[in-house]
Amino acid sequence: MNEENIISSSNARLIEPTEELAAEFFAMAEEYKAAGSDRYKSALENFPQYLEQVSNYARGIKLNTDRVPASEFWLVDGGKIVARSELRHRLNPALEHEGGHIGYDVRPSERRKGYGTLVLKLTLEKAGDLGLDKVFLTCDTENSASAKIIEKNGGKFAGEAISKKSGKQISRYWIEI
């Protein structure tokens, strides 16, 4: 099916994390775990604490020294969490190199359906609501799917760099809102 058809027929919406979708979040986290990623390990271990941390980060309280205020969103379609995004309210020196204002991921079983493009589009709207007029994003250069998502949302290539975390080459983009 054409990605544009999926997006236009989707009833997906971007929401703030909620306790009501705990079982659905656990299912998504387990799917990532089965795919070899432990990105939601802390949430699986203590979901209420995870939600509290998400709320604190959005309000800029109890931040680790390397963190900036950030809002997390879930893209939900038909009651299923299909993607997640994080909108960092500002950049610090580390994020100016890698990471940028927005990070997003799409549930493994929901990839190649247009949800990546949609979650970024809706998160860009949230960035505009915060008063940001442009945002910085990065992705691994080898991740052509993410690069296409960024470019579909107006991303202008701003060069490459080497990740200080992974040592891999990363592509850097700016999107004007």
Task: Check which CATH number belongs to the domain holding 75 and give it.
Answer: 3.40.630.30
Inside any domain, residue 96: yes
Angle of helix 22-34 relative to helix 47-59, nearest 10 degrees? 100
Q: Which domain holds residue 80?
A: 3-132
Q: What is the pLDDT of residue 141?
A: 97
Inside any domain, residue 119: yes
In this prediction, residue 64 has a pLDDT band, given cuts at 50, 70 and 90, of confident
Number of domains in the chain: 1
Inside any domain, residue 158: no
Residues 6+ apart with CB under 8 A from 172: 100, 136, 137, 138, 157, 158, 159, 160, 161
| pTM assigned to the model | 0.92
Distance CA 125, CA 98 (A): 21
pLDDT in tens, 135-167: 999 999 999 999 999 999 999 999 999 999 999
Q: Are strands 70-77 and 80-88 parallel, antiparallel or unpaired?
A: antiparallel
